[in-house]
Amino acid sequence: MEDPILEVKHLKKSFFDSKKNREIQVLKDISFGMNQGDVLSIIGPSGSGKSTLLRCIAQLETLDAGEVRVCGKNLIVPGSNPIRYASKEDLTKIRLSTGLVFQNFNLFPHLTVLQNVTLAPIRVLKQDRYHARIRAMRLLKRMGLESKARAYPCELSGGQQQRVSIARALAMNPKVLFFDEPTSALDPELTGEILKVIKSLAEEEMTMVIVTHEMAFARDVANQVIFMDGGVIVEHGTPDYVFGKSNNDRLCSFLSRFAQSND
């Protein structure tokens, strides 16, 4: 039996709410695992902790308790209490094995498209400029953006900017790719082109975790789906089960309201 490429156990995360003057537990007890080639869609109402979960795994937020294991490396020293993060070497290896595509693109506005895609491979992976450019141009061609290599982000549509963000993440050769609501900042007519790119990655067995409000896409692209609400996993299973067979009241209510909002 293969080891999970991503394993999360009993992850907890709280934030201090200055208005209420108390800690708010955003993630209460999150556990799940993924194998190489799995595609996990995470759905749920706003504020349920979906994006915070991704940010904790991607080391953009610290977690309060739990275990995270990525590509055989522990993010947290096992058994440490209070928790203690792994060595800088292991944290770097985990960071390099994952990629995160943000909902708001986060491209460097003063760099061209090509420079945005080659910056990290050259500086972080220490690739020579020539080979980094070749790799970047191949990725941009795949995204239909080869002709935009010398353009700046402000000269691109939102859909084009998001495709550059995906190319930038892929340029680092991640083992696991995270998408944080990749279409939420786009007009509806631009959403389809991004979903098409992600679906093509799934067909190539890229391991992905996708936080999305696109229910039809979540069902079609994933082989497992998590429904989160109130900082917990309410339902977890295959797309057929989660979208068609679960009798969980909270999930059914969410899907019903979502369907009504799209009528």
pTM score, two decimals?
0.92
Cα–Cα nearest to 215, from 247, 260, 248, 249? 260
Distance CA 117, CA 123 (A): 11
3-class secondary structure, 152: coil
Is the bond preceding 78 in cis, omega lying within 30 degrees of 0?
A: no
Cα–Cα nearest to 78, from 62, 89, 67? 67
Q: Which pLDDT does position 263 carry in this prediction?
A: 53
SS3 content of the chain, % helix, strand, coil (to 5): 40, 25, 35
Q: Which parts of the chain have pLDDT scores under 70?
A: 1, 259-263
Both tokens of 110, joined, read 């003063």
Distance CA 187, CA 82 (A): 44
Q: Which pLDDT does position 260 carry in this prediction?
A: 59
